């Protein structure tokens, strides 16, 4: 199976890095770029040289996808997963569930490929990797090379290889650029953030309650993309079931999926969506990874998403091209585009620097902010005087409401910009404060950092005019309580970030010949 030029270039770069002594690399590949195809090509070449390969994943969909791609490459392989029928321990390639393999006898491999490697620092993966008698080549696959919370992966990996970008794939016709429609604005200030870097289920459910009650999700779907093959990403199981019921009550065939749905029922529901027997599948934490249906025409984000990685995974489901695809639409009911930007926005990655997963603190000039078309509710990138979706005029719609619901004003934008617009000034100040609060919590800074950064920008301390988010008040209380228990050395509190336990670092002076692929 021939690779696309960017895929071939990425695989060649991985191989060159191994030859230079870098045994642990991340292949960054956008959703829909064919990362499993590139992995299968690597395995096929390695097997032809007598190498043993292990493909690790944590979800059924990813395991099945990898097995199918290896079949396309003609690679004989086994599958290590509880209850799976393809048991071939003699094969030189194995596709394994990390949860199953960690409980089984060790499989010694020369090359280990880890799908969705942003979770590979978890204990399950580290236990598996720690069993090898000598360090294997490790290649991680992901569209988002950072942990939850934006923490980099440099403590485990040595090199990043970026295959391409979503914007380039759209330009080349390998992906479709979706039209994004906004739902009602939700109150971000009511949301609280968990330590793992995502909104709490309770606060997110409360934020979406009115949208659900009004039936806005079905109404907007019927208005913007009637008849579209659709996947809904809901906040929780009850939420997902309610959405499916609302579609069915409106005569639109729909079904619900969650982690407890049996494999047989899941396969039937997804087959019904692919054949258009049903139009909508609402799910909770099932279809964000490893699900590939090119004819999918609409994704409904029926939840607020703190992590940009999860946002990209969910939204990216609708970007694959297909002759059967009549449209590509994202219905954003969680104000996620305001927070994270568009799926094709360029990004820079690092193994050493934290990545801003919330994107709400990215510095953007007001003139560069995307806007919502007042006529059709489509999100439009900056620089358009006319809506490319409906033709409506846009030049006068960078308003106070836009500033409040979008991103932080750049530190270099003078406050005189708002002198003749007090509501815009008030909104910008409040938004800036909230963004500082989010950054502070995400990076575990001392709470006082927010006030000092605020004063540095606005030349005054935050006062009664500022509304403090509840999650930040809770964070202040927790940090103050922890401060009383901290052990101080030389008058300074110590703080550390736990590092991943990785195999011994071999290859700094060059790998042995058998490590090539």
pLDDT recorded at residue 397? 42
Average pLDDT for 463-483: 83
**pLDDT tens across 12-60, in order?**
999 999 999 999 999 999 988 999 999 999 999 999 999 999 999 999 9
**Close Cβ partners of 170 (under 8 Å, ≥ 6 residues apart):** 176, 177, 319, 344
**Minimal CA–CA distance to 38: which of 160, 173, 158, 141?**
141
pLDDT recorded at residue 343? 93
151 strand-pairing partners = none
391: left (phi over 0), alpha (psi -120 to 50) or beta: left
**Close Cβ partners of 268 (under 8 Å, ≥ 6 residues apart):** none
| Lowest-confidence pick of 163-177, 200-214, 388-402 | 388-402
Separation CA 113–CA 69 (nearest Å): 14
**Minimal CA–CA distance to 218: which of 255, 178, 251?**
251
- Residues across the chain: 517
131-135, 192-196, 278-282 — most confident range: 278-282
pLDDT recorded at residue 507? 38
Q: What is the DSSP string of 365-402?
A: -GGG--EE-TTT-BEE-TT-SB-TTT--B-TT---HHH
Superfamily for domain range 5-164: P-loop containing nucleotide triphosphate hydrolases (3.40.50.300)
Q: What percent of the chain has pLDDT over 90?
A: 51
Long-range CB contacts (< 8 A, 24+ apart) of 81-85?
A: none
154-158, 266-270, 418-422 — most confident range: 266-270
Residue 434 predicted with pLDDT over 70? yes
Identify the H or E element spanning 179.
Answer: strand 179-182
- Using DSSP's 3-state secondary structure scheme, residue 137 falls into strand
Separation CA 89–CA 486 (nearest Å): 51
Q: How confident is the model at residue 95 (pLDDT cuts 50, 70, 90)?
A: very high
Rg (CA), the chain: 24
Rounded to an integer, what is the distance from CA 512 to the centroid of its chain? 36
Separation CA 26–CA 458 (nearest Å): 40
Q: What is the DSSP string of 140-177?
A: EEESS-S-GGG---TTT-SEEEE---HHHHHHTTSS--
254 strand-pairing partners = 280
Tokens 């959405």 locate to: 243
| Lowest-confidence pick of 26-30, 166-170, 184-188, 484-488 | 484-488
Residue 488 predicted with pLDDT over 50? no
Residue 405 predicted with pLDDT over 60? no
The dihedral built from the CA positions of residue 494, 499, 504 and 509, taken in this order, carries a sign that is negative
Q: How confident is the model at residue 482 (pLDDT cuts 50, 70, 90)?
A: confident
**pLDDT tens across 210-269, in order?**
887 778 999 999 999 999 999 999 999 999 999 999 999 999 999 999 999 998 999 999
251: left (phi over 0), alpha (psi -120 to 50) or beta: left
Residue 417 predicted with pLDDT over 60? no
Q: Cα dist. 246→10, 255, 256, 288, 334 in Å?
A: 45, 11, 11, 22, 18
Average pLDDT for 415-436: 62
Average pLDDT for 491-505: 41
Task: Please tell me the pTM assigned to this model.
Answer: 0.74
Q: For the chain, report the end-to-end CA distance as a whole number of angstroms.
A: 18
Q: Domain 172-355 maps to which CATH number in 3.30.590.20, 3.30.300.30, 1.10.10.10, 3.40.50.300?
A: 3.40.50.300
399-431 residues labelled b (16+ CB within 10 A) or e (exposed): ebebbbbbbbbeeebeeeebeeeeebbbbbbbb
Residue 328 predicted with pLDDT over 90? yes
Residue 112 predicted with pLDDT over 90? yes
Count other Cβ atoms within 10 Å, centred on residue 228. Answer: 23
Separation CA 389–CA 208 (nearest Å): 27
91-105, 393-407, 494-508 — most confident range: 91-105
Separation CA 300–CA 332 (nearest Å): 6
Separation CA 369–CA 384 (nearest Å): 11
Residue 347 sits at φ, ψ, to 5 deg, of -140, 155
Residue 496 predicted with pLDDT over 50? no
């Amino acid at each position: 199976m021939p690779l696309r030029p960017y895929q071939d270039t990425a695989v060649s770069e991985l191989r060159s890095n191994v030859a230079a002594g870098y045994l642990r690399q991340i292949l960054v590949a956008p959703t829909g770029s064919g990362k499993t195809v590139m992995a299968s090509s690597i395995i096929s070449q390695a097997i032809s040289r007598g190498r043993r390969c292990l493909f690790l994943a944590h979800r059924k969909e990813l395991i099945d996808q990898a097995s199918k791609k290896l079949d396309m490459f003609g690679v004989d392989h086994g599958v290590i997963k509880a209850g799976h029928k393809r048991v071939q321990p003699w094969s030189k390639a194995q596709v394994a569930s990390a949860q199953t393999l960690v409980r089984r006898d060790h499989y010694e491999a020369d090359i280990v490929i880890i799908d969705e490697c942003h979770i590979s620092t978890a204990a399950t993966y580290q236990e598996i990797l720690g069993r090898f008698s000598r360090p294997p080549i490790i290649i991680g696959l992901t569209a988002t090379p950072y942990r939850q919370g934006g923490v980099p992966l440099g403590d485990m990996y040595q090199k990043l290889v970026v295959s391409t970008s979503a914007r380039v794939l759209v330009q080349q016709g390998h992906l479709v650029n979706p039209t994004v429609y906004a739902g009602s604005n939700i109150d971000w200030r009511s949301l609280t953030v968990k330590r793992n870097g995502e909104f709490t289920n309770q606060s997110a459910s409360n934020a979406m309650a009115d949208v659900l009650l009004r039936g806005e999700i079905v109404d907007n779907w019927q208005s913007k993309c009637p008849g579209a093959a659709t996947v809904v990403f809901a906040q929780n199981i009850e939420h997902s079931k309610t959405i499916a019921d609302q579609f069915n009550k409106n005569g639109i065939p729909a079904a619900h999926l969650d982690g407890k749905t049996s494999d047989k029922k899941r396969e039937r529901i997804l087959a019904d969506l692919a054949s258009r027997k049903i139009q909508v599948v609402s799910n909770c934490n099932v279809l964000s990874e490893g699900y590939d249906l090119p004819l999918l025409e609409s994704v409904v984000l029926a939840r607020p998403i703190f992590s940009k990685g999860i946002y990209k995974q969910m939204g990216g489901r609708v970007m694959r091209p297909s002759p059967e695809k009549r449209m590509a639409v994202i219905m954003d009911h969680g104000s996620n585009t305001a927070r994270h930007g568009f799926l094709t926005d360029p990004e820079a990655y690092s193994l050493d620097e934290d990545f801003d997963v919330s994107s709400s603190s990215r510095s953007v000039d007001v003139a560069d902010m995307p806007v919502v078309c007042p006529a059709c509710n489509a999100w439009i990138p900056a620089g358009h005087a006319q809506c490319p979706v409906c033709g409506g005029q846009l030049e006068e719609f960078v308003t106070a409401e836009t500033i409040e619901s979008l991103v932080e004003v750049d530190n270099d934008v003078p406050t005189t910009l708002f002198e003749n617009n007090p509501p815009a000034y008030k909104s910008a100040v409040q938004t800036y404060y909230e963004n500082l609060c989010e950054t502070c919590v995400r990076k575990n800074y001392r709470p006082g950092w927010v006030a000092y950064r605020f004063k540095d920008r606005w030349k005054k301390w935050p006062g009664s005019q500022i509304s403090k988010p509840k999650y930040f008040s809770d964070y202040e209380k927790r940090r103050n309580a922890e401060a009383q228990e901290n052990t101080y050395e030389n008058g300074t509190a110590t703080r550390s970030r736990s590092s991943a336990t990785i195999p011994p670092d071999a290859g700094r002076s060059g790998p042995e010949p058998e490590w090539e692929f």
